[in-house]
């Protein structure tokens, strides 16, 4: 048998699809795959919770801060505004600096500004903090889904994880709609944001320790079109601002 025939017969090749095995994680088997899958899916769940929380709690929080209903709508709108606009930049930053690195830094950003939100004393400052935390959420989404497809080769596990990842958008928003009923009505409203910060800290710490990185960024040393990003994001923000 030639070397090529032996290789074919043994069912191995010199190249394998990107998967958990490429990162030395195969020893955990299926249980490790499920843990990695859950860690990725939870990032989507957590970053979607502020959508529903803002909708249900925004007006009441604004009232307690002395704002008018019109002003309080910015508490509702600020997070989805920046989360939707800045997602354009997230994927490119992940390609240049590493998808896992981007998710971890964005998660820290998300946690920090949710924590700071609990200390705000006006509608304007709270809306700004919500908007800044939305930028963190925007950078999490495209890079988490990229890591999902990098980590799991085509097959059942990838399909199931992608399905759950997509389902976390409405699930997270729905869960967020329930939280204000407890935190805003029964406790000082700031505890809603403290709770989100603690939940995010746990989730992104789990992600950092469990999910393998891609080894090396796909476009290491590449450039980011900051001017184009500014114009694209600025256009989306202005469009939403006008319609608001």
Report if residue 9 sits inside a domain: no
Residue range 199-219: mean pLDDT, rounded: 88
String of DSSP letters for 158-181? HHHHHHHHHHHHHHHHHHHHHHHH
Report if residue 56 sits inside a domain: yes
Q: What is the pTM of this model?
A: 0.82
- Closest by CA position to 155, among listed 22, 2, 18: 18
3-state DSSP of 199-230: HHHHHHHHHHHHCCCCCCCCCCCCCCCHHHHH
Is the pLDDT at 4 greater than 80, yes or no?
Answer: no
**Tally of structural domains, the chain:** 1
Residue range 44-73: mean pLDDT, rounded: 89
Question: pLDDT per residue over 139-191, tens digit each?
Answer: 999 999 999 988 888 888 889 999 999 999 999 988 888 888 788 888 889 99
- Closest by CA position to 147, among listed 16, 30, 42, 18: 18
Report if residue 19 sits inside a domain: no
CATH number at residue 107: 1.20.1250.20
- Closest by CA position to 101, among listed 139, 133, 138, 131: 139
Q: Phi-psi region for residue 122, left (φ > 0), alpha (ψ -120 to 50) or beta?
A: beta
Report the C-alpha gap between 208 and 128 in whole angstroms. Answer: 27
- Closest by CA position to 47, among listed 80, 72, 19, 18: 80
Give percent of the chain above pLDDT 70.
86
Map residue 11 onto helix, strand or coil.
Answer: coil
Report if residue 8 sits inside a domain: no
Report if residue 57 sits inside a domain: yes
Report if residue 212 sits inside a domain: yes
Report if residue 134 sits inside a domain: yes
111: containing domain: 27-243
Q: What is the per-residue pLDDT for 137?
A: 93
CB 126 within 8 A of CB 219: no
Report if residue 11 sits inside a domain: no
């Amino acid at each position: 048998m030639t070397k090529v025939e032996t290789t074919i017969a043994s069912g191995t090749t010199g190249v394998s699809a990107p998967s958990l095995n490429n990162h030395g994680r195969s020893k955990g088997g299926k249980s490790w795959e499920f843990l990695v899958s859950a860690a990725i899916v939870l990032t989507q769940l957590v970053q979607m919770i502020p959508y529903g929380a803002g909708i249900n709690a925004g007006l009441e929080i604004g009232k307690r801060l002395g704002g008018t209903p019109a002003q309080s709508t910015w508490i509702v709108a600020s997070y989805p505004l920046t989360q939707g606009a800045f997602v354009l930049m997230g994927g490119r930053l992940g390609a240049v600096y590493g998808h896992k690195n981007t998710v971890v830094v964005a998660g820290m950003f998300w946690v920090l500004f949710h924590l700071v939100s609990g200390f705000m004393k006006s509608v304007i400052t709270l809306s700004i903090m919500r908007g800044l935390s939305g930028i963190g959420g925007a950078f999490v989404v495209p890079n988490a889904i990229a890591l999902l497809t990098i980590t799991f080769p085509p097959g059942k596990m990838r399909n199931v994880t992608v399905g759950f990842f997509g389902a976390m958008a409405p699930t997270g928003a729905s869960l967020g709609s329930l939280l204000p009923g407890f935190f805003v009505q029964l406790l000082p409203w700031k505890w809603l944001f403290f709770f989100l910060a603690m939940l995010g800290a746990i989730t992104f710490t789990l992600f950092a320790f469990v999910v393998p990185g891609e080894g090396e960024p796909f476009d290491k040393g590449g450039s980011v079109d900051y001017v184009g990003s500014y114009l694209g994001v600025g256009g989306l923000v202005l469009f939403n601002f006008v319609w608001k």
